[in-house]
């Protein structure tokens, strides 16, 4: 394995949400550091353009609905069968769910869908990779949560619950895996410039930025740097932790 612990030479890295935004930026960065990236997303068009950009073999670009438990397991099993190892899982896929809806008005189907993709998807992916990582006595798992999971955004209850669920999930699981060479962490960004925010009103953006001491939104490439660390051999003594990417908003 590489001398440089941040290198991904000979490493197999599964990245969800890779079609755009933070996931695509992470796929670019990890590819540039030598990783064999398996790019997963529900959005086939975005996957196709990433494949062209990074010159990925067709079998490393896999359409997947994270909200389907069987598909998640089948996809991870197929990647392991093909690649013979899974060194890192970086899960960036996610949906915002209802916004500007008071909790008593949230439709249950919307609540369930947000949890299914963000939280259950996180659990299913983790369950699927753990046996392979345990066998290898090595693994890195990184899930993208949100500042919303630490502080809560009004009118976004399903999203808040899904993201705080992710943060709680990694805390307990990290202790189960601590002696197996596997670290599992989450990451809580504040507002990041990605397609997810393309429709956010100027007023809301201004409010969000006003809470960030650096006075600007974050860039997907900045988040990718943290995820690359969390997914690398270098992240060897930190587990169960929620990394921060908020420009100074959250210092806890
Ligand atoms: N952008 C921000 O301001 C921000 C802030 C905090 C947290 N986050 C989190 O960061 C992660 C990445 O966000 P982003 O800004 O890059 O968003 P994005 O919308 O640009 O990308 C999310 C990706 O997830 C994919 N996806 C959605 N549902 C899926 C499903 N069922 N199965 C598989 N893939 C699915 C989408 O197709 C998309 O490519 C998300 O988990 C998001 O909640 C984003």
Q: What percent of the chain has a predicted confidence (pLDDT) above 90?
A: 94
Q: Give the N- to C-terminal CA distance of the chain in Å, as an integer.
A: 34
Euclidean distance between CA atoms 239 and 171, whole angstroms: 8
Residue 94, token pair as written in the block? 């996610």
23 lines ligand 1 (CB under 6 A): yes
Ligand 1: which residue has its CA nearest to atom 43?
A: 94
Average pLDDT on 227-243 reads 98
Q: Give the residue from 241, 242, 244, 191 showing the smallest Cα distance to 219.
A: 191
Supply the pLDDT for residue 2. Answer: 62
| Choice from 194, 216, 222, 227 to test ligand 1 binding pocket (greatest atom count within 8 A of CB) | 194
Average pLDDT on 13-29 reads 98
Q: Are 197 and 215 in contact (CB under 8 A)?
A: no
Supply the pLDDT for residue 1. Answer: 64
Supply the pLDDT for residue 98. Answer: 95
Q: How confident is the model at residue 199 (pLDDT cuts 50, 70, 90)?
A: confident
Q: Of 80, 132, 138, 159, which residue is the catalytic one? A: 159
Q: Are 11 and 35 in contact (CB under 8 A)?
A: yes
* Res. 18: pLDDT tops 70: yes
Average pLDDT on 211-229 reads 97
* Res. 86: pLDDT tops 70: yes
Average pLDDT on 160-171 reads 98
Phi, psi torsion values for 224, nearest 5 degrees: -60, -35
Q: How confident is the model at residue 208 (pLDDT cuts 50, 70, 90)?
A: confident
Q: Which CATH architecture describes the domain 12-238?
A: 3-Layer(aba) Sandwich (3.40)
Q: Are 220 and 192 in contact (CB under 8 A)?
A: yes
Q: What is the pTM of this model?
A: 0.98
What does DSSP assign to residue 164? H
Ligand 1: which residue has its CA nearest to atom 1?
A: 192
Average pLDDT on 213-218 reads 97
Q: How many A from CA of 1 to the centre of ligand 1?
A: 31
Supply the pLDDT for residue 3. Answer: 83
Q: How many A from CA of 19 to the centre of ligand 1?
A: 9
Choose between 143 and 2: higher pLDDT.
143
| Choice from 14, 16, 17, 72 to test ligand 1 binding pocket (greatest atom count within 8 A of CB) | 17
* Res. 201: pLDDT tops 90: no
Supply the pLDDT for residue 203. Answer: 84
């Amino acid at each position: 394995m590489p001398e440089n612990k941040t290198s991904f030479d000979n490493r197999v890295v599964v990245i969800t949400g890779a079609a755009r935004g933070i996931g695509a930026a992470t796929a670019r960065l990890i590819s540039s550091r030598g990783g064999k990236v398996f790019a997963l997303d529900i959005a086939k068009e975005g996957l196709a353009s990433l494949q062209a950009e990074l010159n990925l073999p067709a079998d490393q670009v896999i359409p997947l609905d994270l909200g389907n438990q069987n598909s998640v397991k089948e996809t991870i099993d197929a990647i392991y069968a093909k690649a013979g190892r899974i060194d890192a899982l970086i899960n960036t896929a996610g949906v915002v769910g209802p916004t500007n809806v008071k909790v008593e008005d949230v439709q249950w189907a919307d609540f369930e869908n947000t949890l299914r993709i963000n939280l259950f998807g996180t659990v299913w992916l983790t369950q699927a990779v753990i046996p392979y990582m345990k066998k290898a006595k090595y693994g890195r798992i990184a899930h993208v949560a949100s500042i919303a999971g630490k502080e809560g955004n009004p009118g976004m209850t399903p999203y808040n619950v899904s993201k705080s669920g992710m943060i709680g999930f990694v805390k307990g699981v990290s202790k189960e895996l601590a002696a197996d060479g596997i670290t599992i962490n989450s990451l809580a960004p504040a507002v990041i410039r990605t397609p997810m925010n393309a429709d956010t009103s100027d007023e809301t953006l201004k409010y969000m930025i006003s809470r960030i001491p650096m006075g600007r939104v974050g860039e997907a490439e900045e988040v990718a740097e943290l995820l690359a660390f969390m997914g690398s051999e270098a992240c060897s003594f930190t587990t169960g932790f929620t990394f921060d990417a908020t420009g100074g908003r959250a210092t806890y």
